[in-house]
């Protein structure tokens, strides 16, 4: 059966109470030791026994100092009993537990990861630059310490295993960074950057932001669950064509935009020409044969579809000229 995080159920005492008791033991043993030294001249055996007992109590009091621990909100201590997982203690405050328990401190607070944009190939093979921002936090302390080799990953330059909270959390952040890179590549490779001709109607990286982000969160959850990490939020925060094709794709987008605009202009011009001919015919302003209608249509289309302003020519003669 898989071992999971469990609550520490060992003996936990109030830290301030034990602090008072331990100070009393320390001061009392020191006083007893000196009192025994004074009694050596009077009653040697009693004084020697008193000094030995005081020294023993002093050593025990020094040992008890190692059992104190203080936790802030959203912090935890993973307790081990001679290598065996004994549970996780996550209550904020000042406490004392058996000093023989090993205690590794972990942070349960949320962390940000702003991943640098990476180059990937989209579904159709275009190289794109894509980056993400990720909010994550530690959920399962057992998996974080014992399912992933975080202590070896946090080994210092001097070869010492990382056991402090900073080293372990930095090792987990490296794990998150690597897995985020892999998940981002996997998701980006399933979709095209953009629906270039607009005819396929497929979900793309540009148009399907919410769906893509949800899929990215799911992939990250699957990958980071091994380390007991929960994904709070994952969002694509950078998306662009790679520099080597960015200029070409920009010209292509501009050309597509120009074509779309021309289609709208022509559609509107044809509608206006038809309306003008119908209006002239209905109100019997002038009678036009087919040739003159064709010439009028041509002139109107040139005026309405042209980029430059038209220069009107006033005909002062008759329509027959």
User: Does 84 lie in the same domain as 23?
Assistant: yes
Q: pLDDT value at position 321?
A: 43
CB count in 10 Å sphere of residue 35: 13
User: Does 269 lie in the same domain as 161?
Assistant: no
Count: domains in the chain: 3
User: Does 76 lie in the same domain as 56?
Assistant: yes
Domain region containing 195: 111-241
Tokens of 101: 């328990």
Domain boundary among 86, 105, 124: 105
User: Does 115 lie in the same domain as 101?
Assistant: no
In a domain, residue 140? The reply is yes
In a domain, residue 6? The reply is no
CA distance to 4, 195, 257, 314, per residue, from 301 (Å): 76, 32, 21, 18
Q: Which residues pair with 111 in a beta bridge?
A: 136
User: Does 146 lie in the same domain as 66?
Assistant: no
Tokens of 145: 């310490």
Q: Which residues pair with 14 in a beta bridge?
A: 95
Closest CA to 137 of 176, 101, 183: 176
In a domain, residue 259? The reply is yes
Q: pLDDT value at position 316?
A: 53
User: Does 138 lie in the same domain as 44?
Assistant: no
User: Does 121 lie in the same domain as 96?
Assistant: no
As a whole number of angstroms, the distance between CA 267 and CA 192 comes to 31
Domain boundary among 210, 241, 272: 241
Residues 6 or more apart in contact with residue 198 via CB below 8 angstroms: none
Q: If you search the block for the tokens 């621990």, which residue do you land on?
A: 69
The whole model's pTM is what? Answer: 0.70
In a domain, residue 4? The reply is no
Q: Which helix (H) or strand (E) holds 18?
A: helix 15-39
CATH number of the domain enclosing 224: 3.30.479.30
Per-position pLDDT tens, the chain of length 321: 355 789 998 889 999 999 999 999 999 888 888 877 777 666 657 777 888 888 898 899 889 999 999 999 999 999 999 989 999 999 999 999 999 999 999 999 999 999 889 999 888 888 889 999 999 999 999 999 888 888 777 665 555 566 678 888 888 999 999 999 999 999 988 888 876 655 556 788 887 778 889 999 999 999 999 899 999 999 998 888 887 765 666 666 666 666 677 777 777 777 777 777 777 677 666 666 666 667 666 766 666 666 656 566 655 555 554
């Amino acid at each position: 059966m898989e071992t999971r995080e469990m609550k520490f159920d060992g003996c936990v005492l109030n830290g301030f109470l034990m602090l008072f008791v331990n100070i009393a033991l320390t001061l009392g043993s020191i006083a007893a030791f000196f009192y025994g030294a004074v009694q050596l001249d009077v009653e040697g055996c009693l004084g020697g026994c008193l000094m030995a007992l005081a020294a023993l109590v002093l050593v025990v009091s020094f040992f008890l100092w190692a059992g104190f621990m203080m936790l802030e909100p959203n912090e935890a201590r993973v307790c081990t009993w001679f290598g065996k997982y004994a549970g996780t203690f996550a209550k904020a405050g000042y406490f004392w537990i058996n000093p023989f328990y090993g205690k590794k401190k972990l942070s349960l607070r949320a962390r940000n990861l702003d991943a640098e944009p990476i180059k990937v190939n989209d579904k159709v093979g275009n190289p794109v630059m894509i980056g993400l921002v990720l909010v994550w936090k530690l959920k399962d302390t057992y998996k974080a310490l014992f399912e992933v080799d975080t202590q070896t990953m946090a080994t210092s330059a001097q070869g010492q295993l990382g056991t402090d909270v900073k080293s372990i959390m930095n090792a987990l952040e490296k794990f998150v960074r690597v897995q985020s890179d892999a998940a981002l590549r996997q998701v980006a490779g399933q979709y095209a950057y953009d629906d270039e001709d607009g005819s396929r109607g497929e979900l793309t990286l540009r148009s399907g932001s919410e769906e893509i982000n949800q899929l990215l969160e799911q992939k990250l959850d699957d990958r980071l669950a091994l380390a007991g990490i929960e994904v709070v939020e994952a969002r694509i925060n950078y998306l662009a064509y790679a520099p080597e094709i960015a200029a070409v794709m920009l010209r292509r987008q501009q050309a597509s935009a120009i074509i779309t605009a021309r289609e709208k202009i022509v559609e509107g011009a044809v509608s206006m020409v038809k309306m003008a001919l119908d209006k002239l015919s209905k109100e019997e302003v002038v009678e036009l044969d087919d040739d003159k209608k064709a010439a009028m249509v041509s002139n109107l289309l040139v005026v309405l579809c042209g980029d430059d302003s038209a220069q009107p020519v006033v005909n002062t003669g008759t329509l027959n000229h």
